[in-house]
Amino acid sequence: MALVGVFSCVQKPETEEQIEKVTEEIIKDATKTVSEKHFEYIDGSFPDLPWLKETTGRYKSILEAGSLTHATIHQCTYKDGIGFLLNDCVECADGGFVLINNQGVSVCCSNGWYNSCKEFNIDLMNTKLIWEIQPNPPVTVENLYKQPLAVISKCVQGKWILHKLWDGMNHYYDWTTFVYISEKGVAVTGNEGINFTFSYSWKKNNVSSPYPNISPYSTYVMWNDKLNRGEWSFFALNADMLEVNLCNSGVYTLIRVRDEL
């Protein structure tokens, strides 16, 4: 069974130029896999310090390259005033922190085997988290189709690879087709001529269940406004494996791709 036939229910753009332009935009939005959290500073705003902004930017780049897993910055007080505790390996067994003063100069460090911070009287009981970054963890939502739209939309966005499809009778496997889902569009790229995009809005609609033991149900569907029909709906998400009901023609399993991490 040719996979290109599986996706034939989706309208293709008229030209290759359109495909390339729209696909580039969707891929850019869909591959934002890093979760960056900013927290309130002690005076109500994130500190406007050039060295701190440079540090957070560097941490983000290192994480995207796969050399960092989880980093935090805490604001603290110590004997000379306000300081910042930088930890670039939160889960490490011998992890610790570096104390940086308000001017961005390293004061001391502490980890599992060395501590040069004792004389600086850091108030470790009253630190405040002001910045954190870590990869989005694998997500499981078994009954994704029952969830509110905000949950469904958040869960399905990203870069995926087509693992297998089930047409009701047989399973077909494929590791060459990539699916990019952004907030407003879908792009599919692969071999066998599978290159297309479509834009969508969300619409609540009745969907036939892909499984015989589950009755038809109502869920949010990616709605092709141009063709006035539903394209994709989503059944379950299990540790980054997404079950897709594509044009009510079977079950399609996508696996999230984390190239950046």
Last residue of a domain, one of 100, 115, 135: 135
**CA 21 from centre of chain:** 22
Specify whether 87 is located in the same domain as 162. Answer: no
Last residue of a domain, one of 78, 102, 135: 135
* pLDDT for 156: 92
Specify whether 157 is located in the same domain as 252. Answer: yes
Domain membership of residue 128 (yes or no) is: yes
Q: Please, which residues have CB within 8 angstroms of residue 72's CB and are 6 or more apart in sequence?
A: 86, 87, 90, 129, 131, 132
Specify whether 55 is located in the same domain as 77. Answer: yes
Neighbouring-strand partners of residue 109: 98
Specify whether 131 is located in the same domain as 190. Answer: no
Specify whether 126 is located in the same domain as 178. Answer: no
* In the chain, % of residues over pLDDT 70: 76
Angle, CA 215 vertex, CA 211 and CA 220 arms, to 5°: 90
* pLDDT for 261: 37
Specify whether 66 is located in the same domain as 124. Answer: yes
- Label residue 260 by pLDDT band (50, 70, 90): very low
Domain membership of residue 261 (yes or no) is: no
Specify whether 65 is located in the same domain as 22. Answer: no
Domain membership of residue 103 (yes or no) is: yes
* Residue 215: Cβ-neighbour burial (10 angstroms; 0-12, 13-18, 19+): exposed
pLDDT of 3 higher than 60: no
Q: What is the mean pLDDT of the chain?
A: 80
Domain membership of residue 61 (yes or no) is: yes
Specify whether 25 is located in the same domain as 45. Answer: no
Cα–Cα distances in angstroms (integers) from residue 112 to residues 94, 97, 236, in the given order: 4, 10, 42
pLDDT of 93 higher than 90: no
- Range among 123-127, 135-139, 214-218 with highest mean pLDDT value: 123-127
The whole-number average pLDDT for the span 88-116 is 88
Specify whether 102 is located in the same domain as 218. Answer: no
Specify whether 120 is located in the same domain as 199. Answer: no
Q: Give how many domains the chain has, as a whole number.
A: 2
Query: What is the C-alpha to C-alpha distance for residues 103 and 195, in angstroms, rounded to an integer?
Result: 51
* pLDDT for 191: 63
Q: Which domain holds residue 39?
A: 34-135
Specify whether 170 is located in the same domain as 213. Answer: yes
* pLDDT for 99: 96
Last residue of a domain, one of 115, 135, 155: 135
Specify whether 21 is located in the same domain as 77. Answer: no
Neighbouring-strand partners of residue 84: 75, 100
pTM over 0.75: no
